[in-house]
Amino acid sequence: MGVPVSQMWTVSRYVLTQRLLGRKRYPLVLMLEPLFRCNLACAGCGKIQHPVDILRKELTPEQCFAAVEECGAPIVSIPGGEPLLHSRIDEIVAGLIKRKKYIYLCTNGLLLEKHLCKFEPSPYLSFSVHIDGVGDIHDQAVCRKGVYETAIQGIKAALNAGFRVTTNSTFFRNADPAHVQEMFDELTALGVEGMMVSPGYEYEKAPDQNNFLPREQTVSLFQQVFSKAGKAWRFNQSPLFLEFLKGRWDLECTPWGNPTYNLFGWQKPCYLVDEGHVSSFQELMDLTDWSNYGRASGNPKCTNCMVHSGYEATAVQQTFTTWQGFWKTAKLTLLGTKSTSAPLPMLVASTKISCQPASFPSSQSDLVPLQVPENITEST
């Protein structure tokens, strides 16, 4: 696994402590969204569809610290929007490092090289760069030409400066297993610490509603991707979660494992499903009817979801609190995963991700967001 030993030890100790205290529900990763605005408008994203006045707002560092302390999770993921657009993101990161939280600062990479000077390498900080494919495949996914090249340049700069760097990749109906394997090979060759993978969630507000993967096709895709698993591939995820994606391990969603705090407060019930907000973390935990969520609940919003923010916490919990999960994880870590024995039907559809406008800009200077009002983003 592409996870530092110190981080694994911190998480395992935290999970076992919760177990000893008899807590059934507890957070593992805080999804901290300090802003919603972004310098891209990807077709499969449902996170940036907000009015202009909301897109201009930011959480203060003090609000972020209060949420982190209230939640108590050992890991903080900072998505968005694009966090590097936040005017005080360096203060937020420094404050979280001071609190010894493991941070994954999620970025599309366009501003990474430019803003590296704001940060110092730390075992607590990792830049998690969004990469959905190699070259034009990634550019099509994010609806802008040249983004892949800029992101890779940012990754190289961060690695050369001594920073931890991971990647996160989201796959949709038109994903080609061979291209995904190629991407894993290239990212591994770059020297990233680990890769995170997930199928896309069916956001109701995403511009492209025709490219999300049903659960059965998600399993088929990942079985094909890992049919020729590279021995050098390293993933910043639990082996049990990867087995779950391949249909080889059963997990149920624990939406409380990755609670979300953003401009509106604590989002009910999770990072993916937005059914309002409450003012405190305790309210979120106590007042949410958790039986209404997860695939077993029958909630249509959860039917096809296999996203890491819902299931990774379950995988980690099973790893450290059940003998079956522990031995399975140990076996996969030491011996690796078995390749899929039989080829499965190709998933690649004839359709591509629908982006507007359909043609790409001709130069890097044209990398401005789609459907995002002017004067709220930083140029690249």
Helix 308-321 crosses helix 323-335 at what angle (to 10 degrees)?
100
Pairing assessment for the beta strands 260-262 and 265-269 based on DSSP bridges:
antiparallel
pLDDT at 298 over 80: yes
- Amino acid letter at 221? L
- Between 172 and 328, the higher pLDDT residue: 328
Among 145, 146, 195, 151, smallest CA distance to 171 is for: 195
Query: What are the pLDDT digits (tens) for 303-352?
Result: 888 988 899 999 999 998 899 998 999 888 887 666 554 444 434 443 44
Tell me the whole-structure pTM to 2 decimals: 0.87
Give the percent of the chain with pLDDT over 70. Answer: 84
Q: How far is CA 274 from CA 235, 250, 270, 271, 308, in A?
A: 28, 25, 7, 7, 17
**Is the CB of residue 212 less than 8 Å from the CB of residue 172?**
yes
What per-residue confidence (pLDDT) applies to 246? 94
Planar angle of CA 290, 296, 297, nearest 5 degrees: 50
pLDDT tens digits for range 142-164: 889 999 999 999 999 999 999 99
Query: Does 85 have pLDDT greater than 50?
Result: yes
CA-CA distance, 152 to 101, in Å (whole number)?
A: 26
Average pLDDT, the chain: 86
Q: For residues 56-72, give the mean pLDDT.
A: 97
Cβ atoms of residues 299 and 255 within 8 Å: no
pLDDT class for 51, splitting at 50, 70, 90? confident
| DSSP symbol at 126 | E
Q: Mean pLDDT highest for which of 56-65, 200-209, 354-363? A: 56-65
Predicted pLDDT of residue 353: 45
Res 366: pLDDT: 34
Q: Which amino acid is at 186?
A: E
Decide: 312 and 258 in contact? Cβ < 8 Å: yes
Lowest mean pLDDT among 99-113, 281-295, 359-373: 359-373
Q: How confident is the model at residue 226 (pLDDT cuts 50, 70, 90)?
A: very high
Pairwise pLDDT comparison (295 vs 129), residue with the higher score: 129
What is the mean pLDDT of the segment spanning 236-253? 93
> Would you say the C-alpha torsion 71, 167, 39, 354 has a positive or negative sign?
negative
**Closest to 67 (Cα-Cα) out of 43, 22, 31:** 31
The band of 371, judged by pLDDT with boundaries at 50, 70 and 90, is very low
∠ Cα 31 32 37 (to 5°)? 115
Q: What pLDDT was estimated at residue 358?
A: 35
**Strand ranges across the sheet with 164-171:** 194-199, 164-171, 125-130, 102-107, 75-78, 29-32, 260-262, 265-269, 274-278
User: Distance between CA 91 and CA 97 in Å, rounded?
Assistant: 10
